[in-house]
């Protein structure tokens, strides 16, 4: 059977393509502005990629067209599918019907941290010998690919609240029917499809309605936005987690290092320490949520903590790209003020903890690529999210509605706005110095900026 995937290089659709290939399907796909790491991963899997949405890509008569949610009416391939009466479905529907049937689904939902938490949970289950299947919206370093079918009943999935397709406006996670659910956080995002926070909370409550009574919901203690979801009605057991002693929860965490590199997890009568390579309080929260989910399928606290000590992280999540003459360059996917703030705060804490690095500069390079940010919805919170940096280089998109002058005037960091990638590279090469930590924050390809900067620094 041949399936063709429209929008195949998206993190979700690319992972779906890998699962279809493992099931024995002939898989092809098309997309525009193809870029690594997903394009590279698909090519390594032997999946044929076509640039753009030319209807000619569909004229070898695939048996099913899986339509990504980036494709809408007016897309040439979509119009061809409809005009020719070709069979089509959304990615989440295909996944539910062909992969998730009869599986114990562990879903990771929330505004931030889904990819990292899903990867942590998958690795914990793998370390414990449970050989899970998984679909992750990124490329995990502990595995060969972002998706696999697995050998046993368990399947971990990054459960996105974004819509399923132009013809199915339900959130993706509604299709998954999970038994174990992490809801890590909830904030306003995706302003292109959700008019208000309440609209997102409605979708989260639809997910809550699907969790069976022998299931489990795991969430942070004291999160007001999630509490409002649960107050609408909840039928599955809950377990909570928190950091520090201010909130009492089922899973209690104590930071042993301010940068999050060492922490203690307490549950019932057990206390176990974790020392690992990741930084930041947000990653500690992700970790304890993954530990709690793994416990629901029988993994011990000690096993989970041992697994996290060997966790390597995810590509594009504070991934170090190189150390060029003492200038360290990192790639980070952060695209929301909260994610930007937690990433930079974590890195600042790590620098402060090291006497040799305390005076080194933290430089943020930001591309406001998400629809929500470009539309100006985060105008009032962006400046504070950047305060841990010494310098901020902001790449000004032509279509942004943000008042960058207002953000610059409110930001503690030195704030520089540049309008071309070329000027950005030229300026960074000229002004960077040994001891700088440059964190590139974008959820897109950024016109190849990451590698172009590294190459320019080397030259």
Helices (H), 252-403: 281-296, 301-308, 337-353, 371-374, 382-385
Please state, in angstroms and rounded to a whole number, the distance separating the CA atoms of residues 325 and 66.
46
With beta carbons less than 8 A apart as the criterion, state whether 290 and 107 touch.
Answer: no
pLDDT of residue 60: 83
State which CATH number among 3.40.640.10, 3.20.20.140, 3.30.200.20, 3.40.1190.10 fits the domain covering 100-308: 3.40.1190.10
pLDDT of residue 372: 66
**Pairing between β-strand 262-267 and β-strand 251-255 as defined by DSSP bridges:** antiparallel
pLDDT of residue 218: 98
| Residues 440-450 pLDDT 10s | 988 777 778 88
pLDDT of residue 43: 85
CATH architecture, domain 319-458: Alpha-Beta Complex (3.90)
Query: If you ran DSSP here, which 8-state letter would residue 68 be given?
Result: P
In this structure, how many other beta carbons lie within 10 angstroms of the beta carbon of residue 406? Answer: 13
pLDDT of residue 441: 82
CATH superfamily for 2-93 is NAD(P)-binding Rossmann-like Domain (3.40.50.720)
pLDDT of residue 400: 73
Tokens of 27: 């898989």
Listed as ranges, residues in the chain with pLDDT below 70 are 35, 37, 315, 335, 370-377
Please state, in angstroms and rounded to a whole number, the distance separating the CA atoms of residues 112 and 339.
7
- The ranges assigned to domains in the chain are 2-93, 100-308, 319-458
Topology agreement, domain 2-93 and domain 100-308: no
pLDDT of residue 194: 86
Please state, in angstroms and rounded to a whole number, the distance separating the CA atoms of residues 49 and 57.
10
With beta carbons less than 8 A apart as the criterion, state whether 123 and 311 touch.
Answer: yes
């Amino acid at each position: 059977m041949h399936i063709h995937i429209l929008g195949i290089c998206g993190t979700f659709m690319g992972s779906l393509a890998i699962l279809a290939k493992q099931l024995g399907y002939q898989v092809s796909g098309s997309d525009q502005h193809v870029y690594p790491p997903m394009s590279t991963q698909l090519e390594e899997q032997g999946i044929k990629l076509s640039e753009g949405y030319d209807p000619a890509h569909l004229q070898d008569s695939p048996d099913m067209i899986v339509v990504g949610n980036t494709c809408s009416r007016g897309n040439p391939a979509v119009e061809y599918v409809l005009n020719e009466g070709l069979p089509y479905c959304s990615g989440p529907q295909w996944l539910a019907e062909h992969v998730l049937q009869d599986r114990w689904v562990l879903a990771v939902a929330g505004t931030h941290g889904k990819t990292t938490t899903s990867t942590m949970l998958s690795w914990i289950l793998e370390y414990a010998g449970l050989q899970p299947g998984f679909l992750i919206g990124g490329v995990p370093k502990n595995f060969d690919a972002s998706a696999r079918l697995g050998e046993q009943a368990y399947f971990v999935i990054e459960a996105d609240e974004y819509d399923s397709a132009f013809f199915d406006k339900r959130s993706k996670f509604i299709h998954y029917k999970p038994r174990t659910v992490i809801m890590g956080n909830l904030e306003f995002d995706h302003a292109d499809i959700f008019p208000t926070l309440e609209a997102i909370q409605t979708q989260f409550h639809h997910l809550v309605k699907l969790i069976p009574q022998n299931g489990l919901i795991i969430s942070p203690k004291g999160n007001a936005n999630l509490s409002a979801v649960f107050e609408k009605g909840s039928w599955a057991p809950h377990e909570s987690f928190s950091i520090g002693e201010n909130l009492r929860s089922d899973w209690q965490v104590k930071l042993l290092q301010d940068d999050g590199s060492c922490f203690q997890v307490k549950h019932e009568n057990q206390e176990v320490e974790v020392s690992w390579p990741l930084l930041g309080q947000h990653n500690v929260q992700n970790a304890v949520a993954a530990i709690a989910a793994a416990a629901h399928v029988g993994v011990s606290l000690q096993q989970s903590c041992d697994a996290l000590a060997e966790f390597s992280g995810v590509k594009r999540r504070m991934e170090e790209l190189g150390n060029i003459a003492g200038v360290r360059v990192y790639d980070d996917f952060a695209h929301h003020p909260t994610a930007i703030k937690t990433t930079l705060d974590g890195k600042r804490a790590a620098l402060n903890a090291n006497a040799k690095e305390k005076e080194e500069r933290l430089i943020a390079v930001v591309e406001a690529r998400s629809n929500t940010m470009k539309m100006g919805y985060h105008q009032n919170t962006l400046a504070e999210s950047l305060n841990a940096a010494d310098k901020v280089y902001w790449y000004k998109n032509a279509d942004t509605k943000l008042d960058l002058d207002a953000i610059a005037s409110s930001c503690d960091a030195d704030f520089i706005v540049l309008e071309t990638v070329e000027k950005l590279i030229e300026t960074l090469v000229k002004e960077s110095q040994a001891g700088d930590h440059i964190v590139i924050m974008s959820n897109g390809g950024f016109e190849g900026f990451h590698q172009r900067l590294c190459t320019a620094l080397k030259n």
